[in-house]
Chains A and B, each alone.
Chain A
Amino acid sequence: MSESGQPSRALHADESHGEHSHSAVPYLVVWIALLFFTGLTYLTGKQHLGTWALPIALIIACTKSALVALIFMHLRESSGSTRLVFVTALIFLVLLMFFTVADVATRFRPSTPAGAPFGTERSQPEGLLEHELPEE
């Protein structure tokens, strides 16, 4: 098996990845930040802030996930291909959730068959087609 120049350069790059001066400080900092954000989500969650409760909880959870992915999971120092895989998974997650939630959030009674579980009066735009609705 012959060694060309390119793999040995790659090997050298990998050795710098595992150097002895590697520091554990970022991990401790992230851990403290994660504990802080857990406390924050606990305190804001207990207030039951109405409309803002869910966006706040999701923003905090996304911040915590970004810290875990970038520092604990080493995405910050990873190669482009692994980052691409992670970002692709996130894009499909957003596609799946966005269109599903957009669907259930915008339904109103005339758009659903009688007796269907979705499309309550709560999500019906006010005054729209009210006189045309079938009697229930």
Chain B
Amino acid sequence: MSHEAEAGLPPGILAHHFSSLARQNEAMRLGMWLFLATEILLFAGLFTGYSVYRFQFPEAFAECSRHLELTLGTVNTVVLITSSLTVALAIHFARTDSPRAAAFCLVLTLLLALGFLGIKAVEYSEHFRERSLPGKYYAFEAVKTPGAAMFFTLYFIMTGIHGLHVIAGMLVLSWILRRTLQGRYSSRYYTGLELGGLYWHLVDLVWIFLYPLLYLI
């Protein structure tokens, strides 16, 4: 059991059933990517449904898209891309033994995530005000083309599930921030932080496709 002490790691990082840290790291990365693959397939189903109805109602989708707040959607894209950068930098700083800088980058990421949700809340409240809502709750005066309700159904499901992922990502990153402040991550071990970052980048990846497909038809 002495290999843990040899590596000079804080206690509780290397599980006893792994023969070395390198093997544990590789298993952790592979496990995370398997989980991300299931997430990709979850969103693949939603994007497929979107494609089918966009084919069926091209005019309604284009018309509804032009009633979304393009400026807010664009600002949110920039916010998420920047939050991806701050997460990547947090991993970089942990890797180069600057835990305080890493913690600062994680705090920035959480603030950007809050900003994203705030902007999304402004958009949602506007949809509720003008009643551009999913399914039978649709009563939007400006667009009465058949298929308009379907656009907003897909819009709410896709941005809603994406929003839940943003919230989940924030919880994961908060937990990782606590561990960063406890001094758990360094150039010797940063895989936990790296995996949290991977989840956050996936949230960004999904939005990269949602933005042009919903806001820019």
Decide: A46 and B92 in contact? CB cutoff 8 A.
Answer: no
Residues of A within 8 Å of B187, CB to CB, are 18-20
Asked if A133 is at the interface of the complex by the 8 Å CB criterion, the answer is no
Residues of B within 8 Å of A101, CB to CB, are 48, 51-52, 55
Residues of A within 8 Å of B22, CB to CB, are 7, 10-11, 13-14
Residues of A within 8 Å of B132, CB to CB, are none
Asked if B211 is at the interface of the complex by the 8 Å CB criterion, the answer is yes
Least distance between A79 CB and chain B CB atoms (Å): 6
- Chain A: number of interface residues, binned into ranges: 35 or more
Decide: B51 and A31 in contact? CB cutoff 8 A.
Answer: no
Tell which of B51, B81, B190, B217 has the most Cβ of chain A within 10 Å. B81
Decide: B7 and A11 in contact? CB cutoff 8 A.
Answer: yes
- Chain B: number of interface residues, binned into ranges: 35 or more
Residues of A within 8 Å of B194, CB to CB, are 74
Least distance between B28 CB and chain A CB atoms (Å): 10
- Which residues, 142 to 183 on B, are CB-close (under 8 Å) to A? none
Cα A47 to Cα B37 with chains together (Å): 34
Decide: A78 and B25 in contact? CB cutoff 8 A.
Answer: no
Least distance between A73 CB and chain B CB atoms (Å): 5
Q: SS class of chain B's interface: helix, strand, loop or mixed? A: helix
Decide: A79 and B26 in contact? CB cutoff 8 A.
Answer: yes
Least distance between A63 CB and chain B CB atoms (Å): 10
Residue-wise, chain A 29-42 has the 8 Å CB interface mask toward B (1 for contact) of 01100110010011
Cα A42 to Cα B22 with chains together (Å): 43
Cα A16 to Cα B212 with chains together (Å): 39
Q: A78-B29, A82-B30, A85-B34 are known contacts. Are A27 and B88 too (CB-CB below 8 A)?
A: yes
Q: A24-B89, A85-B34, A93-B44 are known contacts. Are A117 and B56 too (CB-CB below 8 A)?
A: yes
Decide: A1 and B19 in contact? CB cutoff 8 A.
Answer: yes
Q: A7-B23, A10-B20, A31-B82 are known contacts. Are A93 and B41 too (CB-CB below 8 A)?
A: yes
Cα A52 to Cα B48 with chains together (Å): 20
Contact among A4, A57, A88 with B216 in the assembled complex (CB-CB below 8 Å): A57
Q: A1-B1, A7-B20, A104-B55 are known contacts. Are A86 and B29 too (CB-CB below 8 A)?
A: no
Decide: B20 and A81 in contact? CB cutoff 8 A.
Answer: no
Residues of B within 8 Å of A31, CB to CB, are 81-82, 84-85
Residues of A within 8 Å of B52, CB to CB, are 100-101, 104
Decide: B81 and A11 in contact? CB cutoff 8 A.
Answer: no
- Which residues, 37 to 64 on B, are CB-close (under 8 Å) to A? 37, 40-41, 44-45, 47-48, 51-52, 55-56, 62
Cα A38 to Cα B209 with chains together (Å): 11
Q: What are 7 contact pairs spanning A and B, CB under 8 A? A: A3-B3, A18-B187, A71-B88, A93-B40, A100-B48, A100-B52, A101-B55
